[in-house]
Amino acid sequence: MDRKRLEELLASVATGRTAIDEAMRLLKSMPFTDLGMAKPDLHRSLRQGVPETIFCQGKTPQQVAAIAGSILESHDIVVATRCDAEHVAALEYNFSTVKYHSQARVAFVGTAPAEPDPSDPDAEPMVFGLDATEAGSSRPATEKKNGFATTIITAGTADIGVAEECAVLLEHMNFPIKRVYDVGVAGLHRLLSEVPDLQSASAIVAVAGMDGALPSVVGGLVPCPVIAVPTSIGYGTTFGGVAPLLTMLNSCAHGVTVVNIDNGFGAAMAVNRIFLSKSTE
C-alpha cells in the first residue's frame, strides 16, 4: 500500500463512500501478506518511499510470479532484480506489461500510474526507465524538477552490467542520470576529461572490479557523495570481488560509501536515501 492509495482509502471512509468494515478488511492486509514461501512487505513504500523489490536469484519462476502478483494488488509497478530468462518468461506469462533490461537483469512489471495532475507543480510521474537498447548511451542528464543529478561511472566495459542495474532503477525513480563508462585508472586521462561534469553532480556511483581504485580517485576530486560498487570482474586474485571491495573499504578519500559486491541495486537505493534526507531538510 503506497501513500496515495492509503490517502484515497481514508478519504473514501471520511466521505462515507467506503464502509468502516470494508476499510478494516483492507487495512488488515496492508502491512504484509503471507504467501507461505514469502511475506511481501506492502508498507515499505510508506516507510522508505520505494516498494519492496523482488530479488529473483534463488527463487523459482513460480515464486517470483506469485510475489509480483501480491505486490501488484497494492502498487502500480513491481521491480524484480537478478532476473534470468525463466523468471522473465514466468512474469510475461502471468502479466500483460513486463519491461525487461537484459544487461541490468531488471524487470518492471505492472502498469505505470496515471499522468500527474498538471496543476500540481511538484507532481512527477513514476516511469519504467529507458528501453534497454538506449541503456549504453552517455548522454547529458536531463533536467528534472528535483535537480538531483547522479553520474554513474565504470572502470571498464565489463562492469557495465552492474552499473546498469543501478542506472535503470534510478531512472525508474525519476532521477536524472548520466552514464560515463570505461574510465578506469589504467587510462586516467579518460576520467580527467570528465572532471568538470563530475564536480557538478549531486551524487556519483563508481563501479569497478580488478583493483577497485576508481572510487578513491573520484572521491578525491569531487565534493558530492560517492557510492562505490565493487564488481566480481577480474582475474583470480580479485577473489570474486573481495579484492576491490577491500580496496574501496580502505579508501583514503574521506567518506566514500561502499556497497556489496555487484550490488547496483544497493547503490541506487543509497542515492535515493541521500536524496530523501536532503529533501526533508
Q: Which three cell numbers stand for residue 280?
A: 526533508
Task: Say if residue 151 is in the same domain as residue 262.
Answer: yes
Tell me: pLDDT of 127 over 70. Answer: no
Same domain, 104 and 168: no
Which pLDDT value is given to residue 19?
85
**Tell me, what's the pLDDT at 73?**
76
160 located within any domain: yes
In a domain, 250, yes or no: yes
Classify residue 71: in a domain, yes or no: yes
Give the length of the chain: 281
- Supply the range of the domain harboring residue 41: 31-110
Q: Which residues of 228-257 are buried (b: 16+ CB within 10 A; e: fewer)?
A: bbbbbbbeeebebbebbbebbeebebeebb
Biggest CA pair distance of the chain? 67
Same-domain check for residues 74 and 180:
no
Stretch 154-165: mean pLDDT = 95
Residue reference for cell 506469485: 66
For residues 103 and 155, membership in a common domain is answered with no
Cα–Cα distances in angstroms (integers) from residue 9 to residues 6, 170, 251, in the given order: 5, 29, 49
Q: Could you write out the DSSP letters of every residue in 183-231?
A: --GGGHHHHHTTHHHHTT-SEEEEEE-TT--HHHHHHTT-SS-EEEEE-
- Say how many C-beta atoms besides its own lie within 10 A of residue 192's C-beta: 13
Residue 218 falls inside a structural domain = yes
Asked if the structure places residue 215 within a domain, the reply is yes
Check residues 246 and 116 and name the one with the higher pLDDT.
Answer: 246
Residue 258's DSSP bridge partners are 228
- Tell me the pLDDT band of 42, cut-offs 50, 70 and 90: low
Number of domains in the chain: 2
- Please compute the mean of the pLDDT values over residues 55-69 and round it to a whole number: 91
Whether residues 145 and 265 share a domain: the answer is yes
- The answer to whether residue 42 sits within a structural domain is yes
Are 193 and 229 in a shared domain?
Answer: yes
Q: Identify whether residues 155 and 219 lie together within a single domain.
A: yes
Please tell me the number of Cα atoms within 13 Å of 4 on its side-chain side.
12
Q: Which residues of 109-148 are buried (b: 16+ CB within 10 A; e: fewer)?
A: bbeeeeeeeeeeeeeeeeebbbebeebeeeeebeeeebeb
- Tell me, yes or no, whether 56 lies in a domain: yes
* pLDDT range class, residue 142, cuts 50, 70, 90: very low
Read off the C-alpha cell for 110: 505492472
In this structure, are 213 and 262 located in the same domain? yes
Strands in 257-258's sheet, in edge-to-edge order, are 177-180, 150-154, 203-208, 226-230, 257-258
153 contacts 192 by C-beta, under 8 angstroms: no
| 28, pLDDT greater than 60 | no
Q: Is the pLDDT of residue 7 over 80?
A: no
β-strands 257-258, 226-230: how paired? parallel
Is 4 a member of any domain? no
Give the domain CATH number at 180: 3.40.50.1970
Q: What is the pLDDT of residue 214?
A: 96
Question: Are 101 and 159 in the same domain?
Answer: no
